[in-house]
Amino acid sequence: MTLDPNRRALMGAAGALALGSMLAFAQDKPTARVIKVVAKKFEFVPGEIHVKKGERIILQFTAPEVPMGFNLADFGMRTDIVPGKATTLQLTPARAGSFIFACDVFCGSGHEDMSGTLVVSD
């Protein structure tokens, strides 16, 4: 079966338009930066995380020892961190400043000092 030249041109144009739309959509969504955070007795490593306002990030948590928690109250975010399992949170901060995060699962003596800072710059 052969297609007439007009139909072939129309199908080629439709295919090119679809491919161009897919590429434009893929470029509109910036890739998230993955930041690995280890929650260990009694600190987060790193203890200070620097990002830019509007930057898409994924915080990837691990805990080598005991169950921990992560609470970033200023952004309404929290998660449990379980040993042997990676936990992730996605965040795109919309405002600049320094924001405290803390462990909110009792992890032993020293737990009350387990905190860090998310620094968001313009």
Q: Are 70 and 78 in contact (CB under 8 A)?
A: yes
pLDDT single digits (tens) 25-57: 555 666 999 999 999 999 999 999 999 999 999
Furthest-apart CA pair in the chain: how many Å? Answer: 79
Distance CA 2, CA 37 (A): 59
pLDDT single digits (tens) 2-21: 656 666 665 665 555 555 55
Q: Kind and range of the H or E element at 10?
A: helix 5-28
pLDDT exceeding 70 applies to what percent of the chain? 75
Assessment of whether the complete model's pTM goes beyond 0.85: no
